[in-house]
Amino acid sequence: MVRDDVVDLMVSTFEVAPDDIRDDASLEELGLDSMAQVELADRIGATLGLDIPEEEFTASSTLEDIVEALQRRQERQKEARSS
């Protein structure tokens, strides 16, 4: 599941406490600065096999925003493969 992958990366790579992770928490609230946001996008892209533009993740993006955007990207990628 996309959300689980994102949370696992936040915990393992950026040492975000699991109890601090809420769907409505922004990346900034979770302690991820702009460099960490770029790294998160890169790692999520590699984990999920998606090309994620760096600007997709901003300090104000919430976990819910990110998960929804990633799910849309996955759907578009699946549709492109089946065409």
Q: Average the pLDDT over 25-34 and give the result.
A: 92
**Superfamily per CATH, domain 2-82:** ACP-like (1.10.1200.10)
Query: In this model, does residue 54 exceed pLDDT 80?
Result: no
Report how far residue 81's alpha carbon sits from residue 37's, in angstroms, rounded to the nearest whole number.
Answer: 28
Q: Please state at what angle helix 63-82 crosses helix 34-48, rounded to 10 degrees.
A: 40
Q: What mean pLDDT is predicted for residues 58-80? A: 89
Name the residue with higher pLDDT: 37 or 60.
Answer: 37
